[in-house]
Amino acid sequence: MMKKAKAAAVILILFCAFGFGRVPKLILDDINMESAVGYDYVNKYIIKATSVLPIYKPDKSVGNETFTASDELSKETLKKINMASSRQMVNGKLEVALYSKELAKQGIGDLIDTLQRDPSISERLFLAVTDEEAERILSKRYGDRDTGIYLSMLIEQNMDVGLVPTYNLHQFLNTYYSKLSDPFLPLIGQKGKDIHIKGIALFKGDRYVKSLRQDHQFIFKALLQKVKQGTYKLRLRKHHFIAIENIHTKHNFHVENKKNKPEITIQLKVNGIIRETRGKKTNKKAVEHIKKLMEKQLETQGTEMIRSFQKLHIDPLGLGTQVRSRVRNFQDQKWLNQYPHIKVNLKAHVDILEKGVVD
């Protein structure tokens, strides 16, 4: 009896498994995986989406194909694009999403929503703002890979060793949904035939407000996270610069006068190596001079930058979250009102570890 019941159970399970337990198949060579998507502003209600998909050829070379469609919803655009594609379009290998500056000014919150809801889209997706139309950037081919992979490699490389802070969809959503901080995105533009990272686009909520000044990029990254392999151009006098390389930074927040009006002190530690200079040898005195100068320059840049953030009522550095973690009974609204008038001190400490091989 027991044996018969067991056999019946096994047969039932097998029948159910084969009969009903089917998952739609997405066989690798029967799908088109879009690698980048770009959104442009058409009018208040309609957006234009551009998808880039790599075409893999049997001889191991990769081609590029671009599709464009306009609709109110971004998921609908994917459907429209699917009508023009010979294979099923899927978005699980999306690497980069671009938003034109014009669109970003209108707010991109609704567009991010679709990326966040779709489980097949990676949280490590890179977002970026383009200086011009996203379609124009995506319809060209750069390098030997397809445009999507190229863009993601470009951004990733600049996050690892360049001046762009590490920032992906996950972190964007974190700052976007937080009341106390505001998101930012890398800004991409075209320069002749090539594509390059122009700077950093600052957001207030989901709207683009301003782009970060070129000379504030280093201090911006240093105050957000640890810089591991940075470079810094130090101005000694007019037309006389020094390159500091292999920079490692570390920063610490201190909050005083917690009860009424907090006062923030940021201590920044910078270690670096002198790699390029002009003129005579650098002796001990000169190194000391460079050190002092760099500290001063970093402090001015930092304070200037934070002042400009306070004026715009934006907080991409997340100062609010830093204060909240150090203050008991923290009140969001009170802080937001205080924020433009908070005093922020920046204290930089520079160490020159080395000044070259021969010197």
Partner 1 sequence: MKMWFRKNPPKREEHTLFDLILQYKKSGDFVHFHNPQTPQPYWISYFGSLIDVEILHRDILPYLNRTALTSIKDVKKILPFEDVLITSERQIIEDALLRGSVLIQLHEKDAACALVRAEMKKSREVTIPEEEYSVVGPKEAFVESITTNLNLVRTRLPISELQIREYTIGSLSKTKVAVLYIEGIANEENINTVCQRLENLEFYQILDSSFISQLIEDNGNSLFPQLIDTERPDRVAGVLAEGSVVIIVDGSSHALIGPISIMELFNAFEDYYINWQMASAFRLIRVLAVSFSILVTPIYVAVLTYHYQLIPKDLMVTLVSSRRTIPLPPFLEAVILELTIELLREAGARLPTKVGQTIGIVGGIVIGTAAVDAGLTSNVLLIIVALAALASFTTPVYRMGNTIRLLRFPFLLMAELWGLLGIAIAFLFLMNHLLRLTSLGRPYLEPIYPPRMKDLKDAIIRLPFSLQSNRPHFLQPQDQKRFLKNKASEVKDIDE
With respect to partner 1, which residue has the nearer C-beta, 92 or 340? 92
Helix (H, G, I), strand (E, B) or coil at 283: coil
State the nearest-atom distance from the C-beta of 35 to partner 1, in Å. Answer: 8
Q: In what order do the strands lie in the sheet with 194-204?
A: 62-71, 47-56, 36-41, 96-100, 126-130, 184-191, 194-204, 207-211
Nearest-10 crossing angle of helices 169-177, 109-117: 120
* Cβ contact 58:65 at 8 Å: no
State the nearest-atom distance from the C-beta of 28 to partner 1, in Å. Answer: 5
With respect to partner 1, which residue has the nearer C-beta, 88 or 225? 88
With respect to partner 1, which residue has the nearer C-beta, 33 or 127? 33
The one-letter amino acid at 101? K
Residues at the contact surface with partner 1, assessed by CB under 8 A = 17-18, 21-23, 25-29, 31, 33, 35, 54, 56-62, 90, 92-93, 95, 120, 122, 149, 152
With respect to partner 1, which residue has the nearer C-beta, 21 or 109? 21
Helix (H, G, I), strand (E, B) or coil at 74: helix
How far apart CA 216 and CA 221 sit, in angstroms, is 9
- 191, 251, 190: which is closest to 218 by C-alpha? 251
State the nearest-atom distance from the C-beta of 23 to partner 1, in Å. Answer: 6
State the nearest-atom distance from the C-beta of 17 to partner 1, in Å. Answer: 6
With respect to partner 1, which residue has the nearer C-beta, 3 or 278? 3
State the nearest-atom distance from the C-beta of 123 to partner 1, in Å. Answer: 12
